[in-house]
Amino acid sequence: MSASAAPFEKTPGWLDFCPSPSEPHFVLPAGAVDAHCHVFGPGAEFPYAPERKYTPCDAGKAELFALRDHLGFARNVIVQATCHGADNRALVDACLASGGRARGVATVRRSVTEAELDALHAAGVRGVRFNFVKRLVDFTPRDELLEIARRIAPRGWHVVVYFEAADLPALWDFFTALPTPVVVDHMGRPDVRQPIDGPEFTRFLRLLDRHPNIWSKVSCPERLSHSGPPALPGRCDPAHPPYADVIPFARAVVERFPDRVLWGTDWPHPNLKDHMPDDGLLVDFIPQIAPTAELQRRLLVDNPMRLYWPEEVG
Ligand code: 0GY
């Protein structure tokens, strides 16, 4: 590698984020929050973690804020991605640079000090993420995670969990013992080829039914879909919406738990190798899963504001 080359080479096959997303037709409600997105590096300034399982393309705060403005969002919730491990510097830098328009979900280890948690809070962090997706992380003992959850609970923070649907039975007791609000990423990654009333998705709905502290993000249709994007890139035909197979699942969650759902772009879409979504079309997907103005306002404004900017909620 020459002295001027980028310090990290991205994982082969990795797709870059969409360089010129379309302008959405769906007009977001005022104050809408993109409640699941990431920043990656840039690696020269914020190196990727040695323990990472993939190396992304650089996707920094300037590009994220430009996308926010292009799509019509008012705010972001930036979620620590595994490629940065428990080094939250890129996330903190983006939150601080946002002028209060971004809050964060960090990754911390048991060794984190109270002073470090104070600094994260001052930067805008309001939660920690526990990742159980085996292709993304090594195993962390449950007692370590529970100890972290107990320490962050008095700060009013919450826990974000990411896992695959097949692993929910093994994780159920751990999730339901957490002493904070718990936010599940991407509906616990259902296999949308299975019937919506099949055992896996029924189990997921039961988790939320029985535990009113558990929320769900209804994000990532592009990750969950097997029917895929629209036939013509950049075109959304309302009669044949993209990611159609995900709609009934996400809509069921939105309609059943309207006060405990969040939505995010997942920009810059880590680990996609077949298809990179047009973020404008992802916004156009929202009315398919939240069909009324009331549901849209709760999903995009009221719920994320309650969780991330509670001091602004009357
Ligand atoms: C997502 C999904 C993924 C990756 C991560 O932290 C991460 O690396 O969350 C994935 O590969 O499914 O939500 O960004």
Q: How far is the CA of 80 from the centre of ligand 1 (A)?
A: 9
Pocket-forming residues, ligand 1, beta carbon under 6 Å: 38, 81-83, 136, 162, 185, 223, 266, 270-271
* Predicted confidence (pLDDT) per residue in 197-214, tens digit: 999 999 999 999 999 999
- The token pair that represents 297 in the structure block: 């306002």
User: 148 pLDDT band (50/70/90 cuts)?
Assistant: very high
Pick the CATH number of 33-312 from 3.20.20.140, 3.40.630.10, 1.10.1470.10, 3.30.1330.60: 3.20.20.140
Q: How far is the CA of 121 from the centre of ligand 1 (A)?
A: 23
Q: Between 10 and 264, whose confidence is greater?
A: 264
Task: Using the predicted structure, report yes or no on whether residue 136 has a pLDDT greater than 80.
Answer: yes
* Predicted confidence (pLDDT) per residue in 54-85, tens digit: 999 999 999 999 999 999 999 999 999 999 99
Among the residues of the chain, which ranges form H helices?
61-71, 89-97, 114-123, 142-152, 168-177, 199-210, 221-224, 247-256, 279-289, 293-297, 303-308
Q: How far is the CA of 2 from the centre of ligand 1 (A)?
A: 30
Task: Determine the pLDDT at residue 3.
Answer: 41
Q: Between 12 and 38, whose confidence is greater?
A: 38
Averaged pLDDT score across all residues of the chain: 94
User: 4 pLDDT band (50/70/90 cuts)?
Assistant: very low
Q: How far is the CA of 265 from the centre of ligand 1 (A)?
A: 12
Task: Determine the pLDDT at residue 241.
Answer: 76
Residue of the nearest CA to atom 5 in ligand 1?
81
Choose one of 271, 274, 282 to mutate for the ligand 1 pocket test, by most ligand atoms within 8 angstroms of C-beta. Answer: 271
* Predicted confidence (pLDDT) per residue in 95-104, tens digit: 999 999 999 9
User: 7 pLDDT band (50/70/90 cuts)?
Assistant: confident
Task: Determine the pLDDT at residue 238.
Answer: 63
CA distance 47 to 244: 38
Choose one of 17, 39, 52, 133 to mutate for the ligand 1 pocket test, by most ligand atoms within 8 angstroms of C-beta. Answer: 133
Considering 185, 266, 278, 279, which one is annotated as catalytic? 266
Task: Using the predicted structure, report yes or no on whether residue 50 has a pLDDT greater than 70.
Answer: yes
Residue of the nearest CA to atom 4 in ligand 1?
270
Residue 266 a catalytic site member = yes
Residues in the chain: 314
* Predicted confidence (pLDDT) per residue in 159-174, tens digit: 999 999 999 999 999 9
* Predicted confidence (pLDDT) per residue in 225-251, tens digit: 998 876 655 555 666 778 999 999 999
CA distance 67 to 34: 10
Question: What average pLDDT does range 183-210 have in this prediction?
Answer: 98
Cα-based angle 189, 40, 298 (whole degrees, multiple of 5): 50
- The token pair that represents 274 in the structure block: 């077949």
Task: Determine the pLDDT at residue 242.
Answer: 83
- Rg (Cα) of the chain, in Å, rounded? 18
Residue of the nearest CA to atom 6 in ligand 1?
81
Q: How far is the CA of 220 from the centre of ligand 1 (A)?
A: 10
Instruction: Provide the 8-state DSSP code for 301.
Output: I
By C-alpha distance, which of 56, 60, 63 is closest to 8?
A: 56
Work out which ligand 1 atom sits closest to the CA atom of 53: 8
CB within 8 Å of 103: residues ≥ 6 apart:
75, 76, 77, 78, 95, 124, 125, 126, 308, 309
Cα-based angle 310, 214, 261 (whole degrees, multiple of 5): 65
Q: How far is the CA of 228 from the centre of ligand 1 (A)?
A: 19
Place of tokens 């969780």: 307
Residue 243 and residue 222 in contact, taking contact as beta carbons nearer than 8 Å: yes
Task: Using the predicted structure, report yes or no on whether residue 5 has a pLDDT greater than 60.
Answer: no
Strands (E) across 8-163 are located at 33-37, 75-79, 102-106, 125-131, 158-162
CB within 8 Å of 141: residues ≥ 6 apart:
none
- CA dist 54 to 16, 60, 133, 224, Å? 13, 17, 13, 20
Work out which ligand 1 atom sits closest to the CA atom of 129: 6
Task: Determine the pLDDT at residue 1.
Answer: 37
Beta strand pairing call for 158-162 and 125-131: parallel
CA distance 251 to 32: 18
